[in-house]
Amino acid sequence: MNTTATNAMSQAAIHVRDLCFSWPQGAAVLQSCSLDVPKGEFWMLLGTNGSGKSTLLRLLAGLLQPQSGEIQISSGVGFVFQNPDHQLVMPTVGADVAFGLVEEKLSIAQVNARVREALAAVKLLDLQRRPIYALSGGQKQRIAIAGAIARQCEVILLDEPTALLDPDTQLDLVAQVRNLVKSRELTALWVTHRLDELNYCDGAFLLEQGQVVDQGDPERLKQRLMQEANVAI
């Protein structure tokens, strides 16, 4: 391996090379897919329906196994799903964030400190005792992010986390994730169809039929997709 490739790899929190994945009896979803997300950066993943975005995120989270290719990812991966109702499992906010810490065998005081710190990071400390059913969609997404922070995840993968949110809450969430990435040196990969969210990221990938066909400056990619949408109309 040459030095440039080694450097790129050592600075990447997410490193994917030549990843191939097919569903059983299905066509190839990812076809020699490669990308790197630098540590401490907020990148977005764009692409039409069925281009393989969710599949790629599931592979990165270890929820699926590739047929071939390489994945290297920093330790501790948090996942935020599109539907806020599909990820919180406990009856209250504090219990839900604490639930993710069960495997770490911490003392009650340590769990409490981690939960409070994580809730403060997403600015929801005052909701610690609130029942989950009483939260808005945007608050639920922030609790899911707090869960990842409490587990001290270095990488957060978010699959269309704003798809079911109203426009104001949508932009609040994306701004907050950007702030968290920058203030805590996290790395985030965020899937979206909403082009206004691109204003908040460091870079973006465009996926087509399971391959990265363009990447880099979010503004350039936004212009490209807007032009393509106009042509399609």
Residues that bind ligand ATP in the complex, under the rule CB under 6 A: 23, 26, 29, 47, 49-55
With respect to ligand ATP, which residue has the nearer C-beta, 51 or 139?
A: 51
Residue from 31, 54, 128, 179 in contact with Mg ion (CB under 5 A): 54
Query: Considering the complex, what minimum distance in angstroms separates the CB of residue 23 from ligand ATP?
Result: 4
Q: Taking CB within 5 to 8 Å according to partner kind, which of ligand ATP, Mg ion, none is near residue 50?
A: ligand ATP
The β-bridge relationship of strands 203-208 and 211-216 is antiparallel
The β-bridge relationship of strands 12-22 and 68-73 is antiparallel
Phi and psi torsions of 90, nearest 5°: -100, 165
Whether the Cβ atoms of residue 154 and residue 14 lie closer than 8 Å to each other: no
CA distance 213 to 210: 9
The β-bridge relationship of strands 68-73 and 42-46 is unpaired
Whether the Cβ atoms of residue 98 and residue 111 lie closer than 8 Å to each other: yes
Q: Which stretch binds Mg ion (CB under 5 A): 1-9, 53-61, 138-146, 211-219?
A: 53-61
With respect to Mg ion, which residue has the nearer C-beta, 135 or 162?
A: 162
With respect to Mg ion, which residue has the nearer C-beta, 58 or 130?
A: 58
Q: Taking CB within 5 to 8 Å according to partner kind, which of ligand ATP, Mg ion, none is near residue 161?
A: none
**What count of residues does the chain have?**
233
Query: Considering the complex, what minimum distance in angstroms separates the CB of residue 70 from Mg ion?
Result: 23
CA distance 89 to 172: 24
x/- track of binding to Mg ion for residues 9-48 (CB under 5 A): ----------------------------------------
Nearest to 140 by CA among 96, 198, 180: 96
With respect to Mg ion, which residue has the nearer C-beta, 81 or 200?
A: 81
**E strand intervals along 160-224:** 187-191, 203-208, 211-216
With respect to ligand ATP, which residue has the nearer C-beta, 47 or 84?
A: 47
Query: Considering the complex, what minimum distance in angstroms separates the CB of residue 163 from ligand ATP?
Result: 9
Residues that bind Mg ion (CB under 5 A): 53-54
